[in-house]
Structure 1
């Protein structure tokens, strides 16, 4: 089995795709291995060929929080990630009918954070990943998942620490100490010898308890649904998204002369295809965001004139945070059939199965089944807001479990 991963917009370091091999291996290796053989992994990196900003986006204004407020029940720590840890979200007291953040009767009403014992075992890994993303230091406008390549393996690190949860909790005498120990364990797995200085580490770890207190006192999903993204983060994401899309469309080339970005995709597909011809192992392609358009163009257009890929068959395509259907609505794909509602486009003929994951909070994540036949749409709630919802898939252990279950 070979997994081909194609990243989305804003990624500018090839190490992100390399780090993602860890969560892919953790959850997909047991499902995809053949006779105990290690699953092949081919990450496609195209960020070095994407948009380049000549004034380093200094034209992007930085302002405070855009707004807040919603009536959707809070689903996790994701909205705290969107809002940061220094600005209050909502002073309304929680309604008992809305339930706890992650399970159990957590809301204390006295300013203390909910006990860790109330977090169900099955939610521990996601909880750890969410909390780590909330409290970890980051500059204005940054998104840890795409801007820091080592965070590509966060889901794997969170799952590993969740496996040690009971032992860590037992050897620490208060929940404040337990939170710090759990976060430290993730930091050590992510950075190893490059762990940040203990002074700085103590500073950001002290936010863990405060974050938990806010999770207890502000349980409404105020920022996951509307206008509570930090403007610098959202503006920077939109700028990179538009820039990368326009760069790809302008430079993707033709079937006879593919551009640099399509050539990167075709190179990985050839490796996977040759391995399949030799061993009979299947090919699974995972695409995030703009990576979906790159793959769709590759299998429906660029492969046609590539003798090495004319008989390519991808056994399963997993897309998340994708805009393939949106591009199809605008007829932006190369050689796209002239089809419109009520008719639909067909799943690519050289793709045997296609599962698409989307988050309703994702600013640029789209459903596929309204435009394509032969695709299964599955909703996945990261609990994050807007730009963070777009990258949040790749940080959460439960998402990788869903991928495994869909194969």
Structure 2
């Protein structure tokens, strides 16, 4: 079986979604599958499957005309491409670890980016590449690839984004790069070192395996020619990010989209709960995910089944494995930013058993998985108000089953933490440490 990724709510198809999927799958292949295959050959060549169910979720028949108007800032140097989130991430990095000064004093430091890399290179490289992490933009443009007429430009751009992010992780782990940055006399010099390091490592991970169905297979090496300039553009933009948010005025920009995003979020949850169906007659979202897992390609008979879920995707999968497809056997389930524990506390799952009143001081833990999931790693970010623990609620009588909560500190604001899991190389570093698989 392959690696199956089940997305959460408020996810809709489009170019940004396609680029995000391609980048995420590239990271999963290179930073999870390849590393695990080094110690467990059953992982070798595993494909990544990402079923999409956003088209089955909530529809707003009046195109969200009920949303009240919200004032937004204009002409503040922040375009419509959503880069405000990236600016805030760099500003937070500078204020927290870029200088010994605090508050706005840190924003004026002479070498904040160099200092930040010296203290935490992995977080720094993710902040520098934040526009890519957030899928706000790609490193390259379609015209850079010469594929404006190609059928899958978004996938190709997303694959390159994933490789650049993986290359950034490799650069952050390289002590020689760190030494060169510490010797840099300015942030400009440090960014030049970082740019060269990322481009060099992107070229190292560029070969494409035939089994990945890559959109880059027929492109040849030409796309690498402009990569350095484009990476440099992304990194150089970070230098002026603190100045753009020093007055905190950019926070106002979030208000415009936050309200609409919240209605999508809650609407998708309501639609799923209302239309998920019954055992033996699953609703359309459950059936879409079930079919994706059943039809997923496999390279060998003993290939493990790995399920990765984000947010509401974890609730869908829990319903699937406990009610709609109880015969399913899963080797590893990684739930990130999820509410499975909270949903069970509220007894919202089909398999939930209501005990009224609960036995004091609290009811016994739930053992609904029945050994069908051998390892369940639940990842939460303290800054993510939509992520919850599972260990206080769930257990399994099988001694060979592991259920564990893991803390992941993305370092981003609460506004962006919920989406800051699978697009970040440091997330896969956490999984690698848990399995003892290091680069």
**TM-score, normalised via structure 2 length:** 0.66
- Asked if 1:315 is matched to 2:319, the reply is no
Retained in 2: the 8 A contact 1:129–1:155?
no
- Provide closer, same or farther for how the CA distance between residues 119 and 19 of structure 1 changes in structure 2, counting only shifts above 3 A: closer
- Asked if 1:380 is matched to 2:408, the reply is yes
Q: Tell me the residue number matched to 1:176.
A: 188
Q: Tell me the residue number matched to 1:21.
A: 25
Retained in 2: the 8 A contact 1:113–1:213?
no
Distance 1:49 1:290 in 2: 14
Distance 1:38 1:275 in 2: 9
Retained in 2: the 8 A contact 1:23–1:153?
no
Q: Tell me the residue number matched to 2:309.
A: 287
* Aligned-residue offset at 1:22: 0.8
Deviations 1:243-267 (A, max 9, x none): 1111111221222221221112111
Q: Tell me the residue number matched to 2:36.
A: 31
Q: Tell me the residue number matched to 1:145.
A: none
* Aligned-residue offset at 1:344: 1.8
Retained in 2: the 8 A contact 1:102–1:119?
no
- Asked if 1:300 is matched to 2:322, the reply is yes
Q: Tell me the residue number matched to 2:425.
A: 397
Distance 1:156 1:359 in 2: 24
* Aligned-residue offset at 1:25: 1.0
CA RMSD of aligned residues (A): 4.7
Q: Tell me the residue number matched to 1:68.
A: none
- Provide closer, same or farther for how the CA distance between residues 330 and 42 of structure 1 changes in structure 2, counting only shifts above 3 A: same
Deviations 1:245-298 (A, max 9, x none): 1111122122222122111211133245x849x612221111000100110000
Deviations 1:334-369 (A, max 9, x none): 132224533221251211121101112112111112
Structure 1 gap ranges (5+): 66-80, 140-147, 305-309
**Which SS does the other structure have where 2:262 is aligned?**
helix
Retained in 2: the 8 A contact 1:289–1:322?
yes
Retained in 2: the 8 A contact 1:319–1:356?
yes
**Which SS does the other structure have where 2:373 is aligned?**
coil
Structure 2 gap ranges (5+): 74-82, 137-153, 207-214, 217-221, 397-402
Distance 2:236 2:127 in 1: 16
Q: Tell me the residue number matched to 2:114.
A: 116
Distance 2:88 2:332 in 1: 43
**Which SS does the other structure have where 2:281 is aligned?**
coil
- Provide closer, same or farther for how the CA distance between residues 136 and 102 of structure 1 changes in structure 2, counting only shifts above 3 A: farther
Deviations 1:193-219 (A, max 9, x none): 6999x999998765311236799x99x
Distance 1:285 1:86 in 2: 32
**Which SS does the other structure have where 2:41 is aligned?**
coil
- Asked if 1:329 is matched to 2:345, the reply is yes
Distance 2:283 2:244 in 1: 49
Q: Tell me the residue number matched to 2:8.
A: 8
Retained in 1: the 8 A contact 2:126–2:133?
no
Retained in 1: the 8 A contact 2:333–2:375?
yes
Distance 2:277 2:376 in 1: 26
* Aligned-residue offset at 1:387: 3.6
Distance 1:112 1:155 in 2: 31
- Provide closer, same or farther for how the CA distance between residues 21 and 207 of structure 1 changes in structure 2, counting only shifts above 3 A: closer
- Asked if 1:209 is matched to 2:239, the reply is yes
Deviations 1:56-95 (A, max 9, x none): 3344343469xxxxxxxxxxxxxxx8766489989xx97x
- Provide closer, same or farther for how the CA distance between residues 228 and 404 of structure 1 changes in structure 2, counting only shifts above 3 A: farther
Question: How is 1:234-273 mapped onto 2 (pairs within 5 angstroms)?
Answer: 234-271=258-295
* Aligned-residue offset at 1:116: 2.3
- How many positions carry a matched residue from both structures? 360
Retained in 2: the 8 A contact 1:152–1:395?
no
* Aligned-residue offset at 1:112: 2.1
Retained in 2: the 8 A contact 1:10–1:241?
yes
- Provide closer, same or farther for how the CA distance between residues 376 and 87 of structure 1 changes in structure 2, counting only shifts above 3 A: closer
Retained in 1: the 8 A contact 2:30–2:166?
no
